[in-house]
Structure 1
Amino acid sequence: MDVLKVEINHAGYSGNQDAVKDIHFTLAGGNLVGLIGPNGAGKSTTIKSIVNLLPDVAGDIRFIGENKTCAYIPEQPVLYDELTLWEHLELAAAAYEMDRQYFVKRSEELLALFHLSGVKHHFPGSFSKGMQQKLMIIIGLLIQPEVYIIDEPFVGLDPRATMQFINLLEKEKTHGAGILISTHQLDIAERICDSIILIADGKLVAQGNLSQIREKCLLPNASLFDCFNAILENES
């Protein structure tokens, strides 16, 4: 069952309203879709269009799951200087009217998993980029939405945290969540994604599972990295 439908005719910014155009895809519950492309291709613009952070979007974007809940984890952490780590979690819990007992239990579990329990009453402004990214991930996982929209989540994460995050996303898939991840980590994308969307120059140039991407490239045994380069060469 689809949980998100994206039909972007064009979207962008002041002075560049066509930063991306003709981006059309659906996201099914229980699926993890990778959004890949070179720098400046339009990945973040596409994601910001989906989560309604752009002033100019022409098209139709619908969250069509039962509860229509979404967690957005941006590439750059967005945190409040005056709130501690724990207060950030409490704010998210209040916004989603979470049961207090469940909130405390799940928060403590996630903090322990990402080794942040010892700093839960500290201010994130003193954290490293990786620790701040872990906090953003924890906030997203805390609410367990139907849709995850995640922009470059592995930047700043150490290998252990990356593996823990991937394992948690796999669990969310089993609960029926649909997950869209923008990433430059093609080796990770090849491993974890059920399908791939490749964007170049603001346009969707390929989509499908790895077998379908390989078929498009006429490279039956190629890695996603090799397919990525072959498709971009054909587009240039």
Structure 2
Amino acid sequence: MGLDINNLSGGYAGHNILKNISFKVPDGKIVALIGLNGAGKSTTINHVIGELQPQMGTIALNDVDLIKTPTEFKKQIAYIPEQPILYDELTLSEHLHLMLSAYELDDEQHWQLVEKLLTKFRLEKKQHWLPTHFSKGMKQKVMLVAAFMLERPLLIIDEPFLGLDTLAIKAVIDLMQEQARKGNSILLTTHLLKEATQFVDEFVVLYDGRIRFTGSPHHLAAASQLSVDNLEQFFESIQEELDDER
């Protein structure tokens, strides 16, 4: 089943940013929302995580409706925001224990997975560090560990590679693919199309709050008259269209 967004319209404080968008993130698939700044990517994410109320349309995950049963819906998701959010007074280890407790997961049962993730992101020796000692990239890694350790049916990541080094980017891609193989769904936003073509099953292109295209990297390349290796030029073609409209 997975995530099903149907005829969604919404925005902020009366501003209608999303205009009747519909798309799916099936079980076991990785879907990337892409578009220029202001296209509606983060607005879509904020609707899916329940931060914004739809003006119209529905959002369901495995047949659980976000508006009708928000608690049951949110239990199925793990979310990584674009900017890391950490508590200054909690150590890395305390953050992770708190998250496990919030999801009613058994610490002993899940801590072995946590340790593997900490090692994968080279954080295993920093469990007693406070956030004030972390670089931006390290804070992002903490958020990644906290989300991947939950193994939720839907993982949502807003710009997953922001501030990460090359090894960490590879680790994130590996973990997303592993989650997909387990049947979980992944929805992400990214500007790094070249990297995304390596692992994304489908792109959803947003343009002025509307869906302009939905399809695989190869289909997007063909529709844009580009090679998959040069797909990052897609944003340039959109910008040129915007300039022409002006």
Give the corresponding residue for 1:4: 3
SS at match of 1:12: strand
Selected match of 1:54 from 52, 55, 58 = 52
Matched, 1:102 2:101: no
Determine the C-alpha separation between the residues in 1 that align with 2:236 and 2:23. Answer: 22
Structure 1 stretch displaced more, 95-104 or 74-83: 95-104
Determine the C-alpha separation between the residues in 2 that align with 1:34 and 1:161. Answer: 19
Q: TM-score, normalised by structure 1?
A: 0.91
Determine the C-alpha separation between the residues in 2 that align with 1:220 and 1:153. Answer: 25
Gaps of 5+ in 2: 65-71
Determine the C-alpha separation between the residues in 1 that align with 2:24 and 2:237. Answer: 25
Give the corresponding residue for 1:36: 34
Name the % identity.
Answer: 38
Where do residues 4-153 of structure 1 align in structure 2 (5 Å cutoff)? Answer: 4-16=3-15, 18-55=16-53, 57-64=55-62, 69-153=76-160
User: Structure 1 residue 96: deviation in Å?
Assistant: 1.7
Selected match of 1:224 from 231, 238, 245 = 231
Q: TM-score, normalised by structure 2?
A: 0.88
Gaps of 5+ in 1: none
SS at match of 1:59: strand
Counterpart code for 2:10: A
Matched, 1:179 2:178: no
Where do residues 151-170 of structure 1 align in structure 2 (5 Å cutoff)? Answer: 151-170=158-177
Determine the C-alpha separation between the residues in 2 that align with 1:199 and 1:215. Answer: 18
User: Structure 1 residue 191: deviation in Å?
Assistant: 1.5
Count of residues in Structure 1 that have an aligned counterpart in Structure 2: 233
Structure 1 stretch displaced more, 99-108 or 193-202: 99-108
Determine the C-alpha separation between the residues in 2 that align with 1:233 and 1:191. Answer: 26
Determine the C-alpha separation between the residues in 2 that align with 1:89 and 1:134. Answer: 12
Do the aligned partners of 2:20 and 2:57 also contact (CA within 8 Å) in 1?
A: no
Determine the C-alpha separation between the residues in 1 that align with 2:206 and 2:193. Answer: 14
The root-mean-square deviation of aligned C-alpha atoms, in Å, is 2.0
Do the aligned partners of 1:3 and 1:63 also contact (CA within 8 Å) in 2?
A: yes
